[in-house]
Amino acid sequence: MAVGTRATVPGMTTRDLHEAGCQVLVGNTYHLMLRPGIEAFRRVGGIHRFMNWPCPVLTDSGGYQIFSSPGQRRVTEKGAHFVSYTDSRKHMLTPERSIEVQSAIGSDIMMVLDECVDSRADTSIVRAAMERTHRWALRSLAARENAEQALFAIVQGGIDQNLRRESAAFLTNHPFDGFALGGLAVGDTRTQREEITAMAAELLPATRPRYLMGVGTPPDLLLAVAAGMDMFDCILPTNFAWQGTAFTSTGRVRIKRGECREADVTLDAACGCSTCQNHTRSYLHHLFQCREPLGPRLLGVHNLYHYNTLMAEARLAIELGEYARFARTKIDEIDRHEHGDKALSDT
């Protein structure tokens, strides 16, 4: 799912997103309640009309964003108190308020408000946050009024497998429409994420969507699919595009490097996106050297197309009963092209 935090995927039109194969967008309750505010969504009839996006939208509850600004927030049993980054006004986001905002936004999938802490924190801290997340999840469920808007619970517990089991057991006893794994990629390593994902996925009902939040690189996704996860979102495709990095079938390409200056070849010969069909690496390099916004936009289109194509190939491999071979081949190709690139492998 492409991340459109503020009702926009950075630098892209909804037409760009359609052409890149995007099916679902992820918005963020925390940001959207501050700007443009829920009255704007009520006035126009929801986020789909507001941004001219006819396909599904999932809204995160805003728990992670509150966690990310520790100097500006205070969490109590009632909810999270924080100061707006837009106008310095004080707000409180409770489970009930989060559902009210998401209902006004009109998202197809809502997330319960959760308390997110560093996955490496002491067990007592992780447990307290997990138990509060459970209580908030039930309050969120009670606050939902429109059954047409799905509501997902979020399994917490850091990197403690016993806590993850306890969280999954509690939440799956309640009538949520789907279940997510939260609190990963928050201080943990790739190996720890893989272990927790593989263990926790088995605890969630296969009849409900299983959503791995905030992850990740192509190998992360392939391994998580093998574990049984169904849905993913991550800022990497667009964030890396703005930094000048493209994900390709032959590994990552840093378009700002000098070697691309005279590379009059397509970005990825195996790719069918509009960027690869119409522009060369040398032209993309030129755009970044000139700091032209078109450069990140073209790379963003390509990266999202690359991710969506990878997921389409994964679905086909599952249907054909060949997923294990497919995933191993893909991961081996990536490792071969990017061997020794430790920086991203531990992202």
Concatenating the DSSP letter of every residue in 169-186 gives HHHTTS--SEEEE-S-SS
- Give the single-character DSSP code of 25: E
What local confidence, expressed as pLDDT, does residue 342 receive?
Answer: 46
What local confidence, expressed as pLDDT, does residue 70 receive?
Answer: 58
Which residues touch 270 (CB under 8 Å, ≥6 apart)?
248, 249, 250
Q: How far apart are CA 4 and CA 91, in angstroms?
A: 23
Identify whether 122 is a catalytic site residue: no
What local confidence, expressed as pLDDT, does residue 71 receive?
Answer: 65
Domain ranges of the chain: 2-234, 248-345
Q: How far apart are CA 273 and CA 134, in angstroms?
A: 43
What local confidence, expressed as pLDDT, does residue 177 receive?
Answer: 98
Q: Answer whether 149's CB lies under 8 Å from 107's CB.
A: yes
Residue the block writes with tokens 């997902």: 152
Q: Single out the catalytic residue among 16, 188, 220, 233.
A: 233
Describe the crossing of helices 323-338 and 294-319 by its angle, rounded to 10 degrees.
Answer: 150
Positive/negative CA dihedral, 344, 3, 56, 111: positive
Q: In what order do the strands lie in the sheet with 90-93?
A: 73-75, 80-83, 90-93
- Give the single-character DSSP code of 55: S
Q: Which CATH superfamily is domain 2-234 in?
A: Queuine tRNA-ribosyltransferase-like (3.20.20.105)
What local confidence, expressed as pLDDT, does residue 255 receive?
Answer: 98
Q: How far apart are CA 147 and CA 179, in angstroms?
A: 16
Q: Single out the catalytic residue among 16, 60, 114, 220.
A: 60
What local confidence, expressed as pLDDT, does residue 345 receive?
Answer: 40
Q: Answer whether 9's CB lies under 8 Å from 3's CB.
A: yes
Describe the crossing of helices 294-319 and 281-289 by its angle, rounded to 10 degrees.
Answer: 140
340, two tokens: 């020794």
| Residue among 283, 315, 313 nearest 299 (CA) | 283
177, two tokens: 């429409």
Pairing of strands 210-212, 178-181: parallel
Identify whether 118 is a catalytic site residue: no
| Residue among 149, 124, 142 nearest 57 (CA) | 149
Question: Strands, DSSP E only, in 61-149?
Answer: 73-75, 80-83, 90-93, 109-111
pLDDT by position in tens, the chain (length 347): 999 999 999 999 999 999 999 999 999 999 999 999 999 999 999 999 999 999 999 999 988 888 777 567 889 999 999 989 899 899 999 999 999 999 999 999 999 999 988 888 999 999 999 999 999 999 999 999 999 999 999 999 999 999 999 999 999 999 999 999 998 877 788 889 999 999 999 999 999 999 999 988 999 999 999 999 999 999 999 999 999 999 999 889 999 999 999 999 999 999 999 999 999 999 999 999 999 999 999 999 999 999 999 999 999 999 999 999 999 999 999 888 876 544 444 44
